[in-house]
Structure 1
């Protein structure tokens, strides 16, 4: 498996002939985005790979469609060029309603739902939605639904790839994912916070990620969603210090922005 980290949550995964793009964000830096209810954030780092240079995409894994740090304006162009887009059920309904002609195959998943994705000349992928909670208890009406993805080949006893999606660490996630043992995990961190909501976090910090990694037991961990936005309260340098001192340090591989990393 080859992973090219593009910026924020966005990565290109090349695996068994598949070209998979996660949470497309390709806008240039400098713009301030509204996240609702008086919250906002500035994109501080642009994409390490231009969308025009990305090439063909077979599959987009979109953890949620309603926050610009996971799907920005330029990133939406990537959806139209992909064969298949997987996202939340709410996201699938919204994308289909607003761009019915551009998206040939968009599917919504809830945690526990599975779908099989096929493409000529590539092995079929079974993709299962995994739990996410994008904030404190009872915040879902504000922050909206999010989903993670576990991808498996038909002849594999365990997932080849797990993308956590934007989530905090919570009991249902730990219970569902303990012992999953994917070959590779893309772990979203950043400890998202806003001044308006004080100490409330909307994604994991590195210490939370360590606890989740210990439970899930992946072979390799590639951190994402840990730089490039002003509302990430724990940026890459600080997260790297925590992970380097942790019990999972030997599993963590930092992908340099824009440079392909061979993993798994």
Structure 2
């Protein structure tokens, strides 16, 4: 049994303290107000800033970067933080764009974090599709991360990354049986693309979780940007209409304050 401390800094950015390791997901530390282009005529304005400033972070052992090419997952201040981290793990295609030696992974590939006096952590890339069918050439490569280490009580820690529900994502969840999920939600959409969604909605999350019964689901990346179509209130409304394992296991991380979870 392991206690993990999660600090949700905002958006997809979470500080994870486990076994002496300090891991940071998708670093985004720019102030609010700027509009970021995402390609093919789409854009979004950042509405809220980070709850923790980069100067207030502890030393970071590894950054888990789901993709390098969208400003809501890696912004200018987040990019400036990369050289200070011991290890950066990202997509195989994105690694060359990172200064220094980033570890690039494709889905199902694994790398390991090792250090004296700490448990080894295996990091396995998991598949993502950041949009509708056939959108990968437009939206680019994205991965999630499954983290395993000795003594986990409920199964791996899974960071889904920016993805919609797909058969590959469901098959990965079924194979992993994650105990704790950092679940990217928000149902991202743009006026230019109408009803198409580029990240998971609450309805899709219910489908994902109802067959794997995770112990704890921690929503992230559902707020703070103009392009989210389903915020916390929207997720709660959707879950109120149906009994589901997701409704029973979902925990909202406080923004900026650490929360300890048994993993």
The answer to whether TM tops 0.5 is yes
Gaps of at least 5 residues in structure 2 are none
Verify the 8 A CA contact 1:2 1:263 in the aligned structure 2.
yes
Aligned residues between the structures: 257
Alignment match of 1:110 (pick from 103, 106, 110): 106
The residue number in structure 1 matching 2:149 is 153
Verify the 8 A CA contact 1:34 1:40 in the aligned structure 2.
yes
Alignment match of 1:251 (pick from 229, 249, 254): 249
2:43 paired with 1:33: no
Cα-Cα RMSD: 1.5
Separation in 2, partners of 1:223, 1:156? 20
Alignment match of 2:188 (pick from 188, 192, 197): 192
Separation in 2, partners of 1:215, 1:135? 23
Give CA-to-partner distance per residue, 1:216-257, whole Å, 9 cap, x none: 332111000100000011112211332355412221110110
Moved over 6 A (4+): none
Shift of 1:155: 5.7
SS at match of 1:185: strand
Alignment match of 1:203 (pick from 181, 184, 199): 199
The residue number in structure 2 matching 1:13 is 16
Verify the 8 A CA contact 1:118 1:124 in the aligned structure 2.
yes
Written as runs of structure 1 = structure 2, the 5 A alignment for 1:125-204 is 125-154=121-150, 159-204=155-200
TM-score (normalizing by structure 1): 0.93
TM-score (normalizing by structure 2): 0.93
Alignment match of 1:238 (pick from 228, 234, 253): 234
Verify the 8 A CA contact 1:181 1:219 in the aligned structure 2.
no
Alignment match of 1:88 (pick from 75, 88, 91): 91
SS at match of 2:86: strand
